[in-house]
Structure 1
């Protein structure tokens, strides 16, 4: 758009075109919100013409945690919540993937109206939806938004699976978990059927049909942005880079992880006090602490929680553990998905005497810790993680080797890729006994064999991840290419 031109009223008082604006739909979950917010921050930088953004969220996730996060974002990033929709007809045991997908599909009329209003006051150049929001492309099309983009917040392996899922659905008659051989897809580490994406494990469930539907709808996007980088999935990146008729071009633009940039225009939030766990880390030797956290939504059953406690004690390693009440009390392993606060006092479920016995080497914190700051701390030497992709990227960016303990969603699949593919983690065996946990934790922290190889690989990946984010790096160049199309070729 040339200076002096006006598009839907989106110009300033002097008739000069306003800054380009992008609307981003965030389906429920902090793991979806955080990377999209980081994308919005990156777009706001001057190199992209100062693109402003509106993050569109759902009423179901209007938690204190989310509100606090949104209020902390720079002034170039606005947020608005869609009105609630009725989901009371869904069964009480409906999967999270089903609830998210239904909420998005039923919100299409209100989203169309919101985007139409936004276009009258902003130079709206693109609409971005995340992985459960593909049905929203219809709303963007109806609102006249020229560019429609899918943001895939997890990795290239998971994207490859979903792009192939309609074909796999037609050609694999039984359940994935019953397959005799791993599923082999172009450029991907072969994934055993039992480790395939959790919502695909029962074809009779609504969540399975929704995932097949999403795989089909992804091809309605003009472009797919992925929160990953070539070095961690080189073969998958090469396979997706090769053009295929009917498939949108794929651009790895990661790692996008949570940053804590200061913005003088943010006046609604007082400075946060330094978390007590950071003071504790200050007193620990370098690379001596294993950080234990299962993400914003994860919880363990009581038996596994107690075996983990005893395994950490047996390992002899210092630890910082974010403890939540167990899933058999809260409901499921993903019981905290919509609300990251633990429901009960979690310490009461730990083995008798554990807290007292380990007080000199361990620190237990309920519900939450500043994960990126903990991983960046010089005392942190390992990360026992659920393998949620945000946590994986944060670990790699900060050079922290991983102990893999997957729970739900795509986490088992991620664990296979990280352990059998890239070699950045060691997985806890399926039988979660304390001895096995202790062995794996010790190996990742101080082992001279596989542990040393994992530590070396993570250090290598850290360098490549950071290089890709610099000017001229692979991730930066990929995003530049996409934004140039948004801004230079708007219709």
Structure 2
């Protein structure tokens, strides 16, 4: 299935292969828009691997692509061909792997009609790298996270080779990431690296890491002011070439649910007085942690706007399954009544882009996903770091210990929960006082830097132009 637009003969064509799922499609579309905004001599075609019909959200994004973009949905992979009970990363990799014959045919077709010069892959589409090489096309990885994580990915194969036990954590207590000034404890690494080395999750991510040096370049959603030393180290390497072209953030939210209610409420608040509390598009807390967070918000006495999701023992549960229960039913008895003068609580979703850009927001209690991190930095909003899974612990370390634009509440050693007193203390640190002033000053400087790198002579604009020129000059 495809839309009707075809690549135009005169334009250089770039094909992009997202990993399955909305969260991998959106960053690639945002990058494609940025590219065309500055270099409209290109045409972009998305080649989309899938296990089933597109979700309404994906369909909506694809159906509203600008004129210089089109999409082709590859034939569905047969679910019977995939092992059962796979972790999400392994499943995504296998869907792409089983889609390679379809991808091969579509690339062959594009080459017969267009001047196709490069394939751009998402992280879990790396198995399709050979398609680019078969047709003598340039191959690029689009890395939607930060440079620190990419530097770790380049480091992991060496650690794995030297490890003597079935767990990396048994061989190493800390890991030094080139360009990152602070050693990371093994428990701060993304979850798959903490798994047994024989697990599917570990083997999948290790395979991704081992393929990185095969690419002609890596396009990163980061910028020099945010991760200067790591980017410098990466750019000193011979291969792959690194192009930090960020920060790329959405200009508007994809969903308007609760939009008018949130913005109307914020209009009635004082400048920089409100703490926004959200754990991204799918992060969840346990019932005990939900209670402590609620009591901590109440105890702090500060204004807050909280996006509440139904509790779960799995901190990423809402990413992979929708939630039908009313989240507000899980709040402590009387909480909504007691805090109605200070807080606004909304169920499941809020327009984060618009909220973080509002003048009433003075702080952001966040899970530290990379998109949320960039949105906070661009808008100059200080953070309370509350990582849940994936690379969020690394992002939290960058924000608190290196950039010093966030505070992090302490986890209780016995229960593994952040108690209400710690929550209230973190809120007070970020919202008022000398420490708050220093943090606010630092993140405002980063915000200015984020705008500068995207300006006409900024480093991210130059990186994008360098990449565009390479594509334009390439002859297959």
Same fold (TM over 0.5): yes
Tell me: CA distance 1:276–1:54, structure 2 relative to 1, closer, same or farther (3 Å): farther
Question: How far 1:356 moved relative to its partner?
Answer: 1.4
- Structure 1 equivalent of residue 361 of structure 2: 380
Secondary structure of the residue aligned to 2:318 is: coil
Identify which of 30, 47, 57 aligns with 1:65. Answer: 57
Tell me: CA distance 1:448–1:73, structure 2 relative to 1, closer, same or farther (3 Å): farther
Secondary structure of the residue aligned to 1:103 is: helix
- Structure 1 equivalent of residue 446 of structure 2: 461
In the alignment, is the contact (CA less than 8 A) between 1:156 and 1:233 conserved in 2?
Answer: yes
Distance 1:308 1:83 in 2: 45
In the alignment, is the contact (CA less than 8 A) between 1:43 and 1:50 conserved in 2?
Answer: no
- Structure 2 equivalent of residue 5 of structure 1: none
Distance 1:274 1:11 in 2: 37
- Structure 2 equivalent of residue 158 of structure 1: 149
Identify which of 186, 190, 200 aligns with 1:206. Answer: 200
Greater shift, 75-84 or 102-111, is seen at: 75-84
Does residue 195 in structure 1 map to residue 188 in structure 2?
Answer: yes
Secondary structure of the residue aligned to 1:275 is: helix
Alignment of 1:432-471 (within 5 A): 432-449=418-435, 451-471=436-456
Distance 2:171 2:434 in 1: 36
- Structure 1 equivalent of residue 340 of structure 2: 359
Moved over 6 A (4+): 269-273
Distance 2:154 2:389 in 1: 20
Tell me: CA distance 1:457–1:11, structure 2 relative to 1, closer, same or farther (3 Å): closer
Distance 1:378 1:38 in 2: 25
Tell me: CA distance 1:125–1:393, structure 2 relative to 1, closer, same or farther (3 Å): same
Question: How far 1:226 moved relative to its partner?
Answer: 0.9
- Structure 2 equivalent of residue 344 of structure 1: 325
Deviation string, structure 1 residues 28-73 (Cα, Å, up to 9, x no partner): 344322221111101112x424322123334348222322333343
Question: How far 1:101 moved relative to its partner?
Answer: 1.6
In the alignment, is the contact (CA less than 8 A) between 2:190 and 2:390 conserved in 1?
Answer: yes
In the alignment, is the contact (CA less than 8 A) between 2:252 and 2:353 conserved in 1?
Answer: no
Does residue 413 in structure 1 map to residue 394 in structure 2?
Answer: yes
Secondary structure of the residue aligned to 1:387 is: coil
Distance 2:258 2:409 in 1: 35
Does residue 117 in structure 1 map to residue 109 in structure 2?
Answer: yes
Distance 2:47 2:359 in 1: 36
Distance 2:142 2:289 in 1: 34
- Please report the TM-score for the alignment, with normalisation by the length of structure 2: 0.91
Tell me: CA distance 1:430–1:112, structure 2 relative to 1, closer, same or farther (3 Å): farther
Secondary structure of the residue aligned to 1:417 is: helix
Tell me: CA distance 1:18–1:440, structure 2 relative to 1, closer, same or farther (3 Å): same
In the alignment, is the contact (CA less than 8 A) between 1:178 and 1:194 conserved in 2?
Answer: no
- Structure 1 equivalent of residue 349 of structure 2: 368
Distance 2:237 2:260 in 1: 47
Alignment of 1:95-110 (within 5 A): 95-110=87-102
Q: Which structure 2 residue ranges, 5 or more long, are not aligned?
A: 1-5, 413-417
Deviation string, structure 1 residues 164-199 (Cα, Å, up to 9, x no partner): 111110112343445664211211131111101111
Distance 2:65 2:290 in 1: 35
Question: How far 1:277 moved relative to its partner?
Answer: 0.9
